[in-house]
């Protein structure tokens, strides 16, 4: 069963088209990630699906309900965790969740009991009676997530939920999202972290300038753009190695340092490369190769190949 269906979803601001004819289908209990460079329309798409913006053209249905004509019915079944904290820093964690539960129609007693249960389940019981403004970034983000899901939604929208968090806090958020999905919640996720999309998403839509570039599984997206190759060389051979790899058809190159101060040059190639001719070409230039190996192209490389731009670390 598809819980989200859009057709030709479009949003314009004057002469500027921010989202241009996006079609999406998301089944029950699935995670669908929206990726794209800054300004690609990810957040605007989420805001239309969450009934916060009206489409200029096209339509969207959530659980069979039109997001414009039946916005109230849609809002009762969805949760939204935006890019910025929705919690009140002057209230305790317990008071924040009790307030959100009451706003969702729970009685005073049921709201208080449910708030305590959620705080205990998500590792915040010890901080329940502290002001939310004193929480760490990871704790505040978990509280945000609980506020958006205080009544378990059928569809959860997460707009860059882990931006600015340390790896441990990010992993805690991932585990909570995976719990929601196991219980049947469908998730639409926008993220600036491609490893996050690879871990969580069943399908990915890459947007660029408001248009859909591709919609597919992470595995199919990466396999469609070729294979990856890693070459480790001494730092002084960086430019010559890059030139040789470019001559044999390597695309998008990323250079990183290794623990022994060598350089790892990671490239994407259209076809599976034969390593022996590459080694011969490098050896002919006097370049000592410390290591070389094939790998599956990364989602970062696929993103760059499809949009012509690297990922960016700010909201979109």
pLDDT in tens, 43-72: 999 999 999 999 999 999 999 999 999 999
DSSP 110: H
Put the strands of the sheet holding 263-269 in their side by side order.
Answer: 250-257, 263-269, 227-233, 289-296
- Dist. CA 11–CA 33, nearest whole Å: 19
Q: Please report the pLDDT score of residue 310 as a whole number.
A: 58
Could you tell me which of 251, 296, 311 has the C-alpha nearest to residue 35? 311
Banded pLDDT at 252 (limits 50, 70, 90): low
**184 has a pLDDT exceeding 90:** yes
Q: Please report the pLDDT score of residue 115 as a whole number.
A: 96
**296 has a pLDDT exceeding 80:** no
Q: Which CATH architecture has domain 226-296?
A: 2-Layer Sandwich (3.30)
Q: Please report the pLDDT score of residue 251 as a whole number.
A: 73
Banded pLDDT at 85 (limits 50, 70, 90): confident
Contact 138, 168 (CB under 8 A): yes
Banded pLDDT at 311 (limits 50, 70, 90): low
The ranges assigned to domains in the chain are 2-222, 226-296
**Topology alike, domains 2-222 and 226-296:** no
Q: Please report the pLDDT score of residue 124 as a whole number.
A: 94
Q: Please report the pLDDT score of residue 303 as a whole number.
A: 84
Q: pTM for the complete prediction?
A: 0.77
Lowest mean per-residue pLDDT among 53-62, 99-108, 136-145, 301-310: 301-310
β-pairing, 203-208 vs 211-216, is: antiparallel
Banded pLDDT at 74 (limits 50, 70, 90): very high
Give 120 or 269, the one with higher predicted confidence.
Answer: 120
Lowest mean per-residue pLDDT among 31-40, 92-101, 116-125, 254-263: 254-263
**312 has a pLDDT exceeding 70:** no
**215 has a pLDDT exceeding 90:** yes
Q: Please report the pLDDT score of residue 159 as a whole number.
A: 93
Average pLDDT value over all residues in the chain: 90
Tokens of 159: 């707009």
* For residues 283-295, average pLDDT: 91
Banded pLDDT at 26 (limits 50, 70, 90): very high
What string of DSSP letters covers 259-288? TTS-EEEEEEESSPPPHHHHHHHHHHTTPP
- Dist. CA 96–CA 139, nearest whole Å: 13
**313 has a pLDDT exceeding 50:** no
- Dist. CA 184–CA 190, nearest whole Å: 19
Lowest mean per-residue pLDDT among 9-18, 33-42, 270-279: 270-279
Q: Per DSSP, what are the bridge partners of residue 32?
A: 188, 203
Q: At a CB cut-off of 8 Å and minimum separation 6, what does 59 contact?
A: 6, 7, 8, 9, 66, 67, 68
Tokens of 62: 């959530």
pLDDT tens track for 40-51: 999 999 999 999
Tokens of 123: 């590792």
Superfamily per CATH, domain 2-222:
P-loop containing nucleotide triphosphate hydrolases (3.40.50.300)
**309 has a pLDDT exceeding 70:** no
**300 has a pLDDT exceeding 70:** yes
Q: Please report the pLDDT score of residue 151 as a whole number.
A: 87
């Amino acid at each position: 069963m598809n819980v989200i269906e859009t057709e030709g979803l479009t949003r314009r601001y004057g002469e500027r088209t921010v989202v241009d004819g996006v079609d999406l289908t998301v089944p029950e209990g699935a995670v669908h990630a929206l990726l794209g460079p800054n300004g690609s329309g990810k957040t605007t798409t989420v805001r239309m699906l969450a009934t916060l913006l009206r489409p200029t053209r096209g339509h969207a249905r959530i659980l069979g309900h039109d997001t414009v004509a039946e916005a109230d019915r849609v809002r009762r079944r969805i949760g939204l965790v935006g890019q910025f904290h929705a919690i009140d820093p002057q209230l305790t964690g317990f008071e924040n969740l009790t307030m959100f539960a009451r706003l969702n129609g729970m009685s005073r007693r049921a709201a208080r009991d449910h708030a305590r249960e959620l705080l205990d389940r998500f590792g915040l019981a010890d901080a329940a009676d502290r002001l939310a403004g004193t929480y760490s970034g990871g704790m505040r983000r978990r509280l945000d997530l609980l506020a958006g899901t205080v009544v378990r939604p059928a569809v959860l929208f997460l707009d860059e939920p882990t931006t600015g968090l340390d790896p441990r806090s990010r992993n805690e958020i991932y585990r909570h999202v995976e719990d929601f999905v196991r219980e049947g919640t469908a998730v639409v996720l926008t993220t600036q972290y491609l490893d996050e999309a690879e871990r969580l998403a069943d399908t990915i839509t890459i947007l660029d300038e408001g248009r859909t570039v591709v919609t597919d599984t992470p595995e199919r997206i990466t396999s469609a753009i070729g294979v990856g190759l890693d070459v480790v060389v001494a730092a002084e051979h960086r430019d010559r190695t890059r030139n040789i790899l470019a001559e044999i058809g390597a695309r998008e190159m990323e250079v990183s340092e290794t623990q022994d101060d060598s350089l790892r040059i990671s490239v994407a190639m259209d076809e599976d490369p034969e390593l022996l001719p590459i080694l011969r070409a490098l050896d002919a230039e006097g370049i000592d190769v410390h290591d070389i190996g094939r790998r599956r192209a990364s989602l970062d490389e696929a993103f760059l190949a499809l949009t012509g731009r690297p990922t960016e670390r700010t909201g979109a």
